[in-house]
Structure 1
Amino acid sequence: MKGLILLFASLSLPIMNAQSNVYDVTYFGAIADDGKDDSLAFQSALAELNDDDTLMIPNGLYDICRTISLFSKRNISIIGAGKAELAKCDDFVGEYLLYIKHTTDLMISDVVFTGLNNGNSNQVWGEQGLYLASTKNSMIVNNEFYHFGDAALRITTSPDEGKYAVGSEDIIVMKNKFQGCAQVTTTQATKNTFVGGSNDISIIENQFVECSLKLSSRTEVSNAKVINNDFNNINGSAVELSYYSDVLFENNNLSNIDGFLLNIYPNSRSDRKVSWGGLRINHNQFSYSQQGIRLQSYSDWEQATSPIENISITNNEFQVITFDGVSNPQYQTAIRTITKDERWSFSNVAIKNNSYRDEYTFLFIDKNVIDIDIEGNNSIPVEASID
């Protein structure tokens, strides 16, 4: 078979059997650094893959002029060698650079994905990078994403699933760099769909430079971990959470954020009330942002019957929140809750052992919050703060 290598053992390629078929994309006609369209060669290589196979991409720049895709496979690895870069052509046809659907046990590592627009400064909706639709047990590790006007990486449920389905689960996004993009997201953007985002997703040790993270769903999803990431120089909210339950946001560094540090709110694109709760925001470093943490329990269109429960914000450090352009004093707080329901908001809330600068108000809690524990929060004198 063309370009086939039998690999008997390898410690460097995860999710591979002891004997796997490994294909080199150059055997299908892809030529790096020649300025010519390589999308047909890449599509031919992807079409050749069977379950348990690996596609290797040698060092160099490959021009991709139309969407390439992989559907309904199992245990596939796509691995770059050196600096293997897939870049959109200026006249790119399609929306996504690489579209993968209904695939289990997927690994993509050491690949550079490059788009056409800096979405942090100029959002271009529909100009996107890697799309994983209804994949399970996927690992996106040690890649780089640059200049996508919309989502550099979208991991969500395919729109062809049933209403309220959640077909994306067990996702690891680790040690990647996202720069100059509008977002990394779990939102299904197709109009008039109400599927979920991703269950059991871990976002670990990534760099978000001029690129935000949006964990959003239109139905119930749970278990998201956002740990040890760096977020900086972001135009807008650094992190948005919508209809995710059992979220751990821990040991992250956020700096130079021209918006909210975290914006947590109901998803107005859902067509029904969705149950959610269980957020832990612990041991994070927050510095140089326009606003703090915003938590909205209910919108005015929801029919609330009980509070959103179990919110923990502990052991965080808040440095330099400017509140530029924010005139309402109740909005000039590091942590703020809000509800649009006349009766219900949050319950079982712990805000403990946080530190903040004493030049601004730390908390604004709406009147409908119940069962709240506020203790051990300490102001830092301005002269002792890190400027």
Structure 2
Amino acid sequence: MIKSMRFAFILIAFISGCNDSDSNNEVAIPDPSSPVIDELPAPAPARPVLAEGVPEHNVKALSFGLIPDDQKDDTAAMLELLAGVSEGDIVYFPPGEYHFEQEIIFDSSFPENVTLVGSDKTFISKRIVPEEQQFNGIALWRLQGVKKMSIVNFRFRNQMQSAESLNEYDDGISVFGSTNINIRRNDFYGFKNACLRVTSSIDGVLASEDVHVYRNNFYNCTSVTTHNESDQGITVEDIEFSENTFNNMEVGLDVISHGLARGVKIVKNSFFDGKYEGIKLSGFDNILIKYNYFKDITGYSVHILPFTFTSEERISSYIIRNNVMHNNRYGIRLKPFDQNLVPNPISNPIFNFEIVDNYFEGIYHSSADNPDPTFFQVIRVNPYTREMINNLTLLNNTYFRIAEEKGGIFYDQEMIDDTVINQHFSGQRNMQKDLSSLPFEVITKKPEFKSKPAILRAIDWDYYFPFPHEYEVAYPEEVEYSISKITSPGYSRNGKASAAFELVDINDPLVNGSYRVEIKDDVVKEDNAIRWYAFSIRLSGDWNYSDGEESLFQVHTAPNDGNWERKISVPYALTTISGNFRFFVSGSNETPIPLVNKTYFPLGEYERNKWIDWIVYVKHDSVNGELKVWKDGEQVVDYEGAVGYAVDSTNHWTYPKWGIYRWSWAEYPHIESRKVFIDKIKVGSEEASLEIMKH
């Protein structure tokens, strides 16, 4: 019986950066009677670049000991950089991955006007502290009281794969009480809470101001937020989000202030596959939401929430204009006040709320858990707070397929009459628009990941037993001698620990007829994928001679039709047989796939109780494939030919496995057990190299 624990190797790729631009304009509130602006002004020219795409800079991160792809903690080197830069410096981080086990804090002593800049392939990764099994802090980088700083063209990602390894709060970048901050052309992936948090100082006293978030891509986080944990005070004023994409987020933008804040500009962003809201907003006035695209949001596209405070100041200028909301559950909800917290009717309504020239298509309103047609309005107002808006303009909005058969309507006049003073409604149309012919540019397709880190995954047993991965053991339950972490002196390749994989013979009652104890990576669902694999293996002292073959590393096929019953030859594997190491490779371009012959490469006698370093490069191709193997730095295999199976077959996907697979117990009963130690496992993409894999 196979016990399976989910080990999800996250193989991450990111969008390449776009042209650089600064967006420092004040929020401009358009007159609803003015003509539609066909396009935004052209962006400023990109920053000059040097040879081979290196941006203009005067300081190199390498000078402070920040070495990419060395799998070491870069915290100490980064702190040296913080202490060593000067006002106006532009610090360049070359391509590769930098790992941090501790939150890096840029405080008020950090020089002004500093730019940190990466390349399209510069990755900043969060990793746990080995002794504590936790990341030390909340965010990868925290700006605290910083002035005039830019962070440009990085790929921020969370490399901690298990819930046990995450702190309660887990952010990418946090900006606290800072001024004139530019976050441009970065990618953020996989943070439990905020990809980006821009808010007040930790005590809630000092708001952040003049913050520009431009051309970033956010993936698989809870939100991008301005929320602070104190739930008090102004969080941020004059913040702009422009030309970003928000992908698979719970809430795309969670823009909240706990005191009346001014100036939010949300322009030309795209929101895809939101679990709850696209934009959630409360506590601001002077708001512009324009030229945005919302697709497949399972809550509100735009949700104006109640203020968490009462204000005697006049609140004005909510402009929602020229947006597209496509196949979302709800359109726009207006509930700026909670009827339980303010006078009813309200004494100080919001002045000038404009919803102009928007397009709504496929707003389905409901699901099985909420069939109440009371909520079936594209523009929905909270009917319980009377006279909460003074001057509501609905002008020239277009809608199509809004679940009319279930009672869907564009707005409910009776509810609006109860809540709005001075209504200006005209020009609403029920018709379909061609999104390709809109009078403004809109991104209607979710962006694909374009670039990958050189190292897709690294397992270092110093850091954790990789419980998030899926692993296969030969026992009905996890028993202590299946896969275990070993910290005895001499049993790790370089650091403090390795993993022992142990398999007991077929007569062990816990085996139940199985033959393997392995861990495995996710399936690579790519055509003709290029991969690098590095790992270190130490055979135990009792790895005795046997003519029965057993694998230590193999790449297996995976069916794209879900049929695991077909007998398909493994494309390639490292094995032991008759006292020797051996590597084999197989492949075929035929469909259906035949049982094919293997090409074998004898690699000499194996030694016990000795670490051997292996590196494998493979280009999967059923005709013109390549496979190279290095043993302790010496190339021992150089193969060209079929590697794996045809793209149009049902078994061209692959996944790697490390551990013991022994299929010949019965033929060679003198072998009663097998144990191997494995350490320093790395999976590289096509961006890797032999030198990178050697680190």
Q: What range describes the TM-score normalised by the shorter chain of this pair?
A: 0.7 to 0.9
Following TM superposition, by how much is the alpha carbon of 1:263 offset from its aligned partner in structure 2, in angstroms? Answer: 0.6
Partners in 2 of 1:273 and 1:87 — Cα distance?
Answer: 45
Note the residue ranges of structure 2 that are not aligned, 5 or more in a row: 1-45, 50-55, 129-133, 437-695
In the superposition, relative to structure 1, how do residues 128 and 22 fare at CA in structure 2: closer, same or farther (>3 Å)?
A: same
Counterpart in the other structure of 1:16 = none
Q: Map residues 99-138 of structure 1 onto 2, 5 A cutoff.
A: 99-116=142-159, 126-138=169-181
Following TM superposition, by how much is the alpha carbon of 1:278 offset from its aligned partner in structure 2, in angstroms? Answer: 1.3
Counterpart in the other structure of 1:318 = 360
Q: 1:373 aligns with which of 420, 424, 439?
A: 424
Counterpart in the other structure of 1:362 = 410
In the superposition, relative to structure 1, how do residues 124 and 357 fare at CA in structure 2: closer, same or farther (>3 Å)?
A: farther
Q: What letter matches 1:148 in structure 2? A: F
Pair 1:335 & 2:379 matched? yes
Q: Map residues 54-203 of structure 1 onto 2, 5 A cutoff.
A: 54-72=90-108, 73=110, 74-90=112-128, 91-116=134-159, 126-160=169-203, 162=205, 165=206, 167-188=207-228, 190-191=229-230, 193-203=231-241
Following TM superposition, by how much is the alpha carbon of 1:330 offset from its aligned partner in structure 2, in angstroms? Answer: 2.1
In the superposition, relative to structure 1, how do residues 125 and 346 fare at CA in structure 2: closer, same or farther (>3 Å)?
A: farther
Q: What letter matches 2:396 in structure 1? A: N
Q: Deviation per CA, 1:59-88, whole angstroms, max 9, x where unpaired?
A: 101111110111113111111134111111
Partners in 1 of 2:59 and 2:377 — Cα distance?
Answer: 55
Pair 1:214 & 2:254 matched? yes
TM-score (norm 1): 0.86
Q: 1:51 aligns with which of 87, 92, 100?
A: 87
Q: What letter matches 1:293 in structure 2? A: I
Q: What letter matches 2:232 in structure 1? A: F
Q: 1:24 aligns with which of 56, 60, 67?
A: 60
- Highest Rg: 1 or 2? 2
Q: Deviation per CA, 1:61-119, whole angstroms, max 9, x where unpaired?
A: 1111110111113111111134111111144221111001111111110111112579x
Q: Deviation per CA, 1:158-189, whole angstroms, max 9, x where unpaired?
A: 13353xx5x3111111111111111111122x
Contact 2:366–2:376 at 8 Å: present in 1 too? no
In the superposition, relative to structure 1, how do residues 21 and 373 fare at CA in structure 2: closer, same or farther (>3 Å)?
A: closer
Partners in 1 of 2:178 and 2:148 — Cα distance?
Answer: 8
Q: Which gives a bigger RCO, structure 1 or 2 (Cα 8 Å, sep 6+)?
A: 2
Moved more, 28-37 or 129-138: 28-37
Following TM superposition, by how much is the alpha carbon of 1:204 offset from its aligned partner in structure 2, in angstroms? Answer: 0.8
In the superposition, relative to structure 1, how do residues 385 and 50 fare at CA in structure 2: closer, same or farther (>3 Å)?
A: closer
Where 1:257 maps in the other structure, the secondary structure is coil
Pair 1:290 & 2:333 matched? no
Following TM superposition, by how much is the alpha carbon of 1:385 offset from its aligned partner in structure 2, in angstroms? Answer: 10
Partners in 2 of 1:70 and 1:370 — Cα distance?
Answer: 48
TM-score (norm 2): 0.49
In the superposition, relative to structure 1, how do residues 56 and 381 fare at CA in structure 2: closer, same or farther (>3 Å)?
A: closer
Counterpart in the other structure of 1:35 = 71
Contact 1:101–1:134 at 8 Å: present in 2 too? yes
Where 1:278 maps in the other structure, the secondary structure is strand
Following TM superposition, by how much is the alpha carbon of 1:132 offset from its aligned partner in structure 2, in angstroms? Answer: 1.1
Contact 1:220–1:275 at 8 Å: present in 2 too? no
Partners in 1 of 2:174 and 2:212 — Cα distance?
Answer: 14
In the superposition, relative to structure 1, how do residues 69 and 355 fare at CA in structure 2: closer, same or farther (>3 Å)?
A: same
Following TM superposition, by how much is the alpha carbon of 1:339 offset from its aligned partner in structure 2, in angstroms? Answer: 4.9
Counterpart in the other structure of 1:231 = 271
Partners in 2 of 1:243 and 1:117 — Cα distance?
Answer: 34
Counterpart in the other structure of 1:17 = none
Contact 1:286–1:318 at 8 Å: present in 2 too? yes
Partners in 1 of 2:378 and 2:204 — Cα distance?
Answer: 40
Partners in 2 of 1:288 and 1:319 — Cα distance?
Answer: 6
Contact 1:283–1:314 at 8 Å: present in 2 too? yes
Partners in 2 of 1:210 and 1:65 — Cα distance?
Answer: 26
In the superposition, relative to structure 1, how do residues 241 and 274 fare at CA in structure 2: closer, same or farther (>3 Å)?
A: farther
Partners in 1 of 2:392 and 2:168 — Cα distance?
Answer: 36
Q: Percent identity?
A: 26
Query: Which one has the bigger strand percentage?
Result: 1
Q: CA RMSD in A?
A: 2.6
Counterpart in the other structure of 1:306 = 348
Q: What letter matches 1:38 in structure 2? A: D
Partners in 1 of 2:88 and 2:397 — Cα distance?
Answer: 48
Q: 2:281 aligns with which of 229, 235, 241?
A: 241
Note the residue ranges of structure 1 that are not aligned, 5 or more in a row: 1-9, 14-19
What number of residue pairs does the alignment pair up? Answer: 360
Partners in 2 of 1:92 and 1:176 — Cα distance?
Answer: 25
Where 2:173 maps in the other structure, the secondary structure is strand
Partners in 2 of 1:50 and 1:218 — Cα distance?
Answer: 35
Q: What letter matches 2:100 in structure 1? A: I
Contact 1:67–1:97 at 8 Å: present in 2 too? yes
Contact 1:68–1:98 at 8 Å: present in 2 too? yes
Following TM superposition, by how much is the alpha carbon of 1:271 offset from its aligned partner in structure 2, in angstroms? Answer: 7.4
Following TM superposition, by how much is the alpha carbon of 1:125 offset from its aligned partner in structure 2, in angstroms? Answer: 5.2
In the superposition, relative to structure 1, how do residues 47 and 195 fare at CA in structure 2: closer, same or farther (>3 Å)?
A: farther
4+ residue runs of structure 1 moved beyond 4 angstroms?
270-275
Q: What letter matches 2:118 in structure 1? A: G
Contact 2:312–2:348 at 8 Å: present in 1 too? no
